[in-house]
A and B are shown apart, each in its own frame.
Chain A
Amino acid sequence: MTAKSEKTASTAAMQRREFLSAAAVVGGAAVFGFGIPLDARAAVRTGQYWSPEISTVPEINAWIAIAPDDTVTYRIGVTELGQGILTAVAMIMNEELQADWKKIRWEYASANRDVKEKAPAWSLKTPGKEPYSTDPNAPGGSPSLPAVYRNREGSDPREVSWTGVYRRMMTNGGAFKSLTYYYHLAGAEARERLLLAAAAVWNVPVAQLSVKDGIITHAATGRTTSYGKVAAKAAQTPHPNPEGIKAKTPDQWKLLGTEQKYLHTPHVVTGELMFGLDVRMPGMLYAAAKACPVWGGDVKSYDANAVKNMPGVHSVVQFPIPDRGLTRAQRFSGGVAVIADSYWHAKSALDAMPVEWLIPADVAKANSADMMKALLASMDKPEKVAVNQGNFDTAIARAAKVVEATYTAPHRPRARMEPGNATVLVTDSRVDIWIGDQSPQETLVSGSKLTGVPRENVYLHLATLGGGFGRNGNGPQAEHAIMIAKTVKGRPVHMIWSREEDWNVGTTYGAQCAAKFKAGLDADGWPIAIEARTAMDTGGSGISAGLDHFPYGVPNYRHTTNFVKFHVPVAVRRNTFPPQIFRESFIDELAHAAKKDPYQYRRELLMRTNFPLRDAQVQALDMVAKMSGWGSPLPQGQARGISLEGEHDGVSGVQAQVALVSVTKQGSARVLRSDIAMDTGFSAVNPLAVKKQLEGGVYWGIDDTFSVDFQVKDGRMVTSNYDTVLTARMDKYPREVNIQFFKSERWGASSPEASMHTVASALLDGIYQITGKRIRDEPLNNHDLSWG
């Protein structure tokens, strides 16, 4: 289908490009609207394919280019997907570079360049190991790669080299300190070279120069110049001693630690921010794809003739089960696709086409209820004893009271808002991929392996992602698109998964999870023995979250785990770790059994320990109790629940939350208000981003608790769209959210989204206090909460 206006459709599209390319000026800050390289934008405007990797403005180092007009472009090696990472990374580089924050632009770094260029040695330095030092440069034993990289060095099935120039192009969790250190160094290296260039021009010692907002000053003579003026010289002059470059210590930070709005916000509100779904290339075809709904299945037959004359249809193609080496060993399916002149034509034809599937017989009858039964049964014979302190068995025998509870959580999708998609252009000698992607380097390898084109000739152009929540679970959208596009060489193909395809076949899930808790209380209601058994699908994440470093004081503690292998693909999901929620629910149950206040009960149990994070945890509880007016009278039908996140040591990120809960007599429940206290440590880069993540986590916890229940029947996921799940919206979100931070002398962890855990157990306890109903198997939508 085509459109014409006074202008032709393509001129209309071009005109939009013109509009986009007139870099929006917002609050004085000229910002790249959509994060593709400057030269690439020019290429798009003239209707050519992008040719990135060439910088027409002086490049100081791989991360920083500075134009004569002082505009600084930061190349961001990780994809923005809502967590504010692009703003955070730009802030970090700017903290060190000290350019004018109002003249900052951003673009995504090139994964292709990463293949071709080795990281300079100075950028490979890692921060000292000592976790609580305020100095990131401090020696703390032998510098080593942080665990998140170390695990993958050499053992990654995709053979990605982690020593490429942008070697850390991934948006994963972990200690912020480790993940961001090289951006500090990049900013510092560029600053020093710019200063050296100015010193050379003026023939003065570099030590006499200072810089603020991109203006270099020689105080003795009153001379000034700007970064833009010396950038060309600096770009050509290497640093004499790059190994000696140091990052600032947090006490020297000026920009970091201040609230900065997201750099991409101005482009969101005009609709111009480019997501993968928004890629438009000249001559582009559209594809709709459908894979066998039972994971690991394939196509038996399909009737292309039935649809080949439908409007706009270009061709029908079959694609195989993606090589598991390219999908992190996950089992996905083979399928079929229709290529057409618009997505609607492609989808309509695909929906109309008769397809028969080859369903793997061993899982053809698998369903959620049986899987949950298997998980529950597995715990009778623990597979692994993860923690064993004291002697649980002898202690429980002398308990005055025994409390037991079994909790379960269903499979949950990460369900990012933007359905899986990718745009791919394959020719004999080159592959271009446009995609929002959390692991672009790996996807680049897929582009090479699936086409035979060498990696050096695969160009991956990052777009912003409409949510991520665990890329490696987002499934083989790139692989599907590459396999489809290589059937029409020379033309870009824009493949989109339907929402149903995205949720049912294209993604991996947060694992099903079950736990059995047992505690023995003494005559005063304090635990003398606790056992926590957990079970989860093999490959699930967080089976011991909050339990292997149990923060509460109990002399006899045992924690065991079981993994059970199912065929449902599972992986990490936005830090959703059900055991953490179960733990807090169980502590609530103990407090009620002991007839004690859940806040004071937790506080006392923490005080019985001597763990490293104890004081921060007590502080978080005290702070949130005060914020929420804990203990003050409430009307009938309302109650407060309290919850604590975290383990007993490690980097911080401690948080506590109080949820003010209401339940009507008819059983309609809601969190009315949420209060959160969090220890950000001294390393919070952008407190506004932390707040937004906390706010987002509150939504996840609420939606999971109320509505998320993904069901497997006949081997396939049958829950497919927003009409039955993920139904919590504005009307379930608390009208009031209060957040307060405090700073312990630690590096903070970047997981504020854990507010999803704290809101969940607090909500469940509020419901219990009001209705007397203790819900141990979410979601709430399956339960009658009426009372009175």
Chain B
Amino acid sequence: MALNLVVNGQLYSVDTEPATPLLWVLRDSIGLTGTKYGCGISECGACTVHVNGQAKRSCVTPAGSVVGQDILTIEGLSSDGTHPVQLAWKEVDAPHCGYCQSGMIMAATALLQKRPNPSDEQIESEITNACRCGSYYRVRLAIKRAAEMMRA
């Protein structure tokens, strides 16, 4: 059946079953491949997107449950990589391979919208994404740097 999804401000009519995880609709139907698959069970965070401004793990989010809602993916964060979180990420060179980083960035952006000046404890409890390369040190630096830039 046709589901109407609003992704990065654009309306898509997607012909799929409502139970299909948003992750695969984004990647396979709409062609937005920045959102990644890492576990499929809501454990790794690689598939994190925003739904109405909240971080959500798209691998366990049925597409039918977010019809008409405001979905934001890494591709919609900025048109040119100049969102403060992206700038901070580049400044500290956070990525290693980069695979988990879309999810990290989306999780961090949602955190910073809630908490403009997050403490280490808040970063640790909110950013539960997995990174097998081990970029955690620079991700923490990047979040703090982004917070600074967003406050300025």
How many Å lie between the Cα of A688 and that of B2 in the bound state?
49
- Asked whether A467 lies within 8 Å of B39 as measured between CB atoms, the reply is no
Closest to B85 in A: A269
Q: Is B123 an interface residue (CB 8 A)?
A: yes
Q: Is A695 an interface residue (CB 8 A)?
A: yes
Contacts of A419 in B (CB 8 A): 37-38
- Asked whether B15 lies within 8 Å of A499 as measured between CB atoms, the reply is no
Closest to A468 in B: B97
Using a Cβ–Cβ cut-off of 8 Å, how many residues does chain A contribute to the interface with B? 72
Given A269-B89, A269-B95, A418-B36: A3 touches B123 (CB 8 Å cut-off): no
- Asked whether B28 lies within 8 Å of A1 as measured between CB atoms, the reply is yes
Q: Is B113 an interface residue (CB 8 A)?
A: no
In B2-49, the 8 Å CB interface with A consists of 2, 10-17, 20-21, 24-25, 27-41, 43-44, 46
**Which of the segments A120-128, A183-191, A582-590, A721-729 contacts the partner chain?**
A721-729
Identify which of A265, A278, A342, A698 contacts B24 (C-beta below 8 A): A342
Contacts of A695 in B (CB 8 A): 134-138
Closest to A736 in B: B137
Most chain B CB inside 10 Å of its own CB: which residue of A4, A264, A269, A723:
A269
Contacts of B128 in A (CB 8 A): 729-731
What's the least CB distance linking B21 to chain A, in Å?
Answer: 7
The dominant DSSP class at the B interface is loop
How many Å lie between the Cα of A107 and that of B128 in the bound state?
33
- Asked whether A696 lies within 8 Å of B135 as measured between CB atoms, the reply is yes
- Asked whether B134 lies within 8 Å of A417 as measured between CB atoms, the reply is no
**Which of the segments A78-86, A397-405, A511-519, A742-750 contacts the partner chain?**
A78-86
Most chain A CB inside 10 Å of its own CB: which residue of B12, B94, B97:
B97
How many Å lie between the Cα of A262 and that of B30 in the bound state?
29
- Asked whether A270 lies within 8 Å of B75 as measured between CB atoms, the reply is yes
Given A16-B31, A271-B102, A731-B125: A416 touches B40 (CB 8 Å cut-off): no
How many Å lie between the Cα of A734 and that of B141 in the bound state?
12
What's the least CB distance linking B17 to chain A, in Å?
Answer: 6
| Interface residues as binary, B47-75 with A (CB distance below 8 Å gives 1, 0 otherwise) | 00000000000000000000000000111
Q: Is A524 an interface residue (CB 8 A)?
A: no
How many Å lie between the Cα of A278 and that of B31 in the bound state?
9
Q: Is B90 an interface residue (CB 8 A)?
A: yes
- Asked whether A270 lies within 8 Å of B74 as measured between CB atoms, the reply is yes
- Asked whether B33 lies within 8 Å of A721 as measured between CB atoms, the reply is no
Q: Is A343 an interface residue (CB 8 A)?
A: yes
What's the least CB distance linking B58 to chain A, in Å?
Answer: 12
Identify which of B12, B30, B34, B137 contacts A270 (C-beta below 8 A): B34
How many Å lie between the Cα of A277 and that of B102 in the bound state?
14
| Interface residues as binary, A262-302 with B (CB distance below 8 Å gives 1, 0 otherwise) | 10111111111111011010000010000000000000000
How many Å lie between the Cα of A268 and that of B140 in the bound state?
17
Identify which of A1, A267, A465, A698 contacts B97 (C-beta below 8 A): A465
Interface residues on B, range: 35 or more
How many Å lie between the Cα of A712 and that of B39 in the bound state?
20
- Asked whether A417 lies within 8 Å of B34 as measured between CB atoms, the reply is no
| Interface residues as binary, B113-137 with A (CB distance below 8 Å gives 1, 0 otherwise) | 0000000100111011111111111
Most chain A CB inside 10 Å of its own CB: which residue of B14, B98, B138:
B98
Contacts of A84 in B (CB 8 A): 96
Identify which of B17, B33, B77, B137 contacts A277 (C-beta below 8 A): B33
Contacts of A416 in B (CB 8 A): 97, 99, 132
Q: Is B139 an interface residue (CB 8 A)?
A: yes
How many Å lie between the Cα of A498 and that of B59 in the bound state?
12
Given A2-B29, A271-B33, A730-B124: A499 touches B132 (CB 8 Å cut-off): no
| Complex A-B, nearest 8 residue pairs according to Cβ-Cβ distance, in ascending order | A271-B34, A699-B134, A466-B99, A82-B97, A696-B134, A268-B98, A271-B74, A82-B96
User: Chain A interface (Cβ within 8 Å of chain B)?
Assistant: 1-6, 9, 12-13, 16, 24, 26, 80-84, 261-262, 264-275, 277-278, 280, 286, 311, 342-344, 415-419, 464-469, 496, 498-499, 688, 692, 695-700, 721-723, 726, 729-731, 733-735, 737
23 A–B contacts from the bound complex (CB under 8 Å): A3-B13, A3-B15, A4-B2, A4-B13, A9-B12, A12-B31, A26-B81, A264-B95, A268-B95, A268-B98, A268-B102, A270-B75, A270-B78, A270-B80, A275-B99, A280-B31, A286-B28, A696-B133, A699-B133, A723-B41, A730-B129, A733-B137, A735-B120
Other contacts beyond A80-B97, A272-B34: 7, CB < 8 A: A24-B80, A267-B98, A269-B81, A271-B102, A273-B98, A721-B39, A729-B127
